[in-house]
Homo-oligomer: A and B are copies of this chain.
Amino acid sequence: LTVQNVPSLDLVERVCAGDRRAIARMLSRAESGGAEAHEALDALYRRGGQAHVVGITGVSGSGKSTLVAKLIAVALRQNRKVGVVAIDPSSPFSGGSILGDRIRMGEVAGHPSVFVRSMATRGALGGLAHGTLESVDIFDAAGYDMIFIETVGVGQDEVDVVRAAHTTVVVSAPGLGDDIQAIKAGILEIADVHAVSKGDKPEADKTVSELKSMLGLAVAAGGIKRHVPVIKTSSSAGEGVAELLAAIDAHREALVASGQYEQRRQSIRERRMLKAAEQVLHEAFERGRQGRMADLVADLAAGTISPRSAASRLLAHIGMEVTR
């Protein structure tokens, strides 16, 4: 334990006590991603493990953010603490990635049991914003019962969110065309719960029945092996929101009852480990460009070695570095 680590570990205790300023500072450290935060983040990781992590995804314009705000309101009335990591660049929450953590959430804004963190995305081809999963750990260690990860329903972000969440909710708005439906087919199977937003629109019932029939086909084809509820919600009328929260809770309970919850948690941990290893790999390669890996880069450029052989050399090098 070196002197400069002490403040970080002190911060860990304050985060675990639920101190909002400590949480905010820790979130910033997680997002900036420096090695000096690793020890504190590892400590927080070991202190968590109680929260229900819920991924919420859907194309932009699906009413996802408004629905999340309504879900939070219901959860607050049940005396829960709710954390939100918003990584949808089009979300009013993470419009706040420019405004820091100032967000417009209507009735739940500024509530002491809600903490919203907006993350900058890495761009269209990016993958999860740096620190997303660490932010979940921080909320978890700080005693938040339910943590929403909100992401736009396209691309790598979504894949990563689904693989990090215990329960995944896909939000669909009524009245989308066939082309959207074709895209949706791809995300149909990732949902544990489907929410249809804007339930006051006349087309909402059609969307509900379309989703149900698509799910029916997927079940018949063996692509889906469980019951996936479809919940019609209306953020303006407040209808269906409590049912949606109940369906999310029921999904967790069913996982726990069947023993799949621990299984899912373990696969999340393993995936995070592999992702962390990949990050070490990328960083080692970037760092090594000028130094010990310069030969490797030159051989690759000359085409004298294949990417596969280069990979072995890279891994051997990293193995030595890590062991040292």
Interface on A for B, CB 8 Å cutoff?
38, 41-42, 45-46, 49, 59-61, 90, 124-125, 154-156, 159, 162-163, 176-180, 182-183, 186-187, 189-190, 262, 266, 269-270, 272-282, 285, 297, 300-301, 303-312, 314-320, 322-323
Decide: B322 and A322 in contact? CB cutoff 8 A: no
Taking the closest CB of chain B, its distance from the CB of A313, in whole angstroms, is: 8
Decide: B319 and A46 in contact? CB cutoff 8 A: no
Decide: B319 and A323 in contact? CB cutoff 8 A: yes
Decide: B307 and A276 in contact? CB cutoff 8 A: yes
In the complex where A277-B281, A308-B42 touch, is A159 in contact with B125 (Cβ < 8 A)?
A: yes
Contact of A322 among B156, B272, B312 (CB under 8 A): B312
Taking the closest CB of chain B, its distance from the CB of A280, in whole angstroms, is: 6
Decide: A179 and B182 in contact? CB cutoff 8 A: no
Decide: B300 and A266 in contact? CB cutoff 8 A: yes
Which residues of B lie under 8 Å from residue A163 when comparing CB positions?
Answer: 125
CA distance A225 to B90 in the complex (A): 23
CA distance A5 to B274 in the complex (A): 32
16 sampled A-B residue pairs with Cβ under 8 A: A41-B306, A45-B306, A46-B303, A59-B183, A90-B182, A125-B190, A154-B183, A177-B177, A177-B179, A266-B297, A266-B300, A269-B310, A270-B300, A275-B307, A276-B308, A320-B323
Taking the closest CB of chain B, its distance from the CB of A159, in whole angstroms, is: 5
Given contacts A277-B281, A278-B281, 15 further A-B contacts (CB under 8 A): A41-B306, A42-B306, A61-B178, A61-B182, A125-B163, A154-B186, A155-B159, A179-B179, A273-B300, A273-B311, A274-B281, A274-B311, A281-B281, A315-B322, A316-B323
Taking the closest CB of chain B, its distance from the CB of A5, in whole angstroms, is: 15
Which residues of B lie under 8 Å from residue A274 when comparing CB positions?
Answer: 278, 281-282, 285, 311, 314
Which residues of B lie under 8 Å from residue A272 when comparing CB positions?
Answer: 307
Which residues of B lie under 8 Å from residue A282 when comparing CB positions?
Answer: 274
Contact of A307 among B45, B318, B320 (CB under 8 A): B45
In the complex where A38-B308, A155-B156, A314-B273 touch, is A320 in contact with B319 (Cβ < 8 A)?
A: yes
Contact of A269 among B38, B189, B300 (CB under 8 A): B300
Please indicate which of the listed interface residues A41, A278, A285 has the most CB atoms of chain B within 10 Å of its own CB. Answer: A278
Which residues of B lie under 8 Å from residue A41 when comparing CB positions?
Answer: 306, 308
CA distance A304 to B322 in the complex (A): 20
Please indicate which of the listed interface residues A38, A154, A178, A297 has the most CB atoms of chain B within 10 Å of its own CB. Answer: A154
CA distance A49 to B304 in the complex (A): 11
Which residues of B lie under 8 Å from residue A315 when comparing CB positions?
Answer: 277, 280-281, 315, 318-319, 322
Taking the closest CB of chain B, its distance from the CB of A310, in whole angstroms, is: 4
Taking the closest CB of chain B, its distance from the CB of A139, in whole angstroms, is: 16
Which residues of B lie under 8 Å from residue A280 when comparing CB positions?
Answer: 311-312, 315
